């Protein structure tokens, strides 16, 4: 009978120094790349927000400046979205009552041409 060890002949001694190096360096570089992205995208927005705050403060709006980058709670966003949706739907309550039927143009193709039909019924007309 075939055993699991025969099906999966694991030989840990086959893992050499170079394999471990690749695994460790590889994983570290993946981490490093995403860590750098994390750093950049944590710092950059703060930098831009700071600039905006300074600009608004110069224009004399200290209170306005404090509002920069303030979080809008999800509930507020949802309420605004519902309000806009309801408002837009109400606009469609009264239709213009003008119905247009668009003519669909049928482009020519030899694949749908009557003259290439296998059975040309025109020939059977009496």
Partner 1 sequence: MEGIVRFFENSGFANATPGHLLMILIGMTVIYFAIRNEYKPLLLVPIGFGILIGNIPFVEHAGLHLGIYEDGSVMNYLYMGVLKGIFPPLIFLGIGAMTDFSTLISNPKLMLLGAAAQLGIFLTYLGAISLGFTNPEAASIGIIGGADGPTAIFLSSKLAPHLIGAIAIAAYSYMALLPVIQPPIMRLLTTKKERRIKMRPPRSVSKVEKIRFPVLALLLTGFIAPGSLPLLGMLFLGNLLKESMVTKRLADTAKNTIIDIVTIILGVTIGASTQATTFLTRESMLIFVLGATAFMISTAGGVLFAKIMNIFLSAENKINPLIGAAGVSAAPDSALVVQMEGLKADPDNHLIMHAMAPNVAGLIGSAVAAGIMMSYLL
User: What is the token pair recorded at 20?
Assistant: 């471990």
Q: Please report whether residue 116 would count as binding partner 1 according to CB under 8 A.
A: no
CA-angle at 103, arms to 101 and 105, nearest 5°: 160
Closest CA relative to residue 65, chosen from 54, 77, 78? 54
Q: Please report whether residue 5 would count as binding partner 1 according to CB under 8 A.
A: no
Nearer to partner 1, 1 or 97 (CB): 1
By CB under 8 A, name the one of 1, 5, 72, 99 that touches partner 1.
72
3-state helix, strand, coil in the chain (%, to 5): 65, 0, 35
Least Å distance, CB 70 to partner 1, is 9
Site string for partner 1, 10-49 (x = CB under 8 A): xxx-xxx-xxx-xxxxxx-xxxxxxxxxx-xxx-xx--x-
């Amino acid at each position: 009978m075939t055993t699991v060890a025969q099906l999966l002949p694991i030989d840990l001694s086959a893992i050499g120094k170079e394999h471990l190096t690749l695994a460790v360096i590889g994983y570290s570089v993946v981490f490093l790349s995403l860590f750098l992205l994390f750093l950049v995208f944590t710092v950059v927005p703060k930098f831009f927000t700071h600039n905006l705050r300074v600009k608004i403060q110069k224009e004399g709006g200290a209170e306005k400046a404090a509002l920069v980058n303030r979080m809008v709670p999800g509930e507020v966003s949802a309420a605004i979205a519902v309000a806009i949706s309801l408002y837009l739907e109400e606009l469609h309550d009264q239709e213009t009552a003008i119905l247009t039927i668009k003519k669909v143009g049928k482009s020519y193709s030899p694949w749908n041409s009557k003259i290439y039909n296998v059975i040309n019924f025109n020939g059977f007309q009496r």
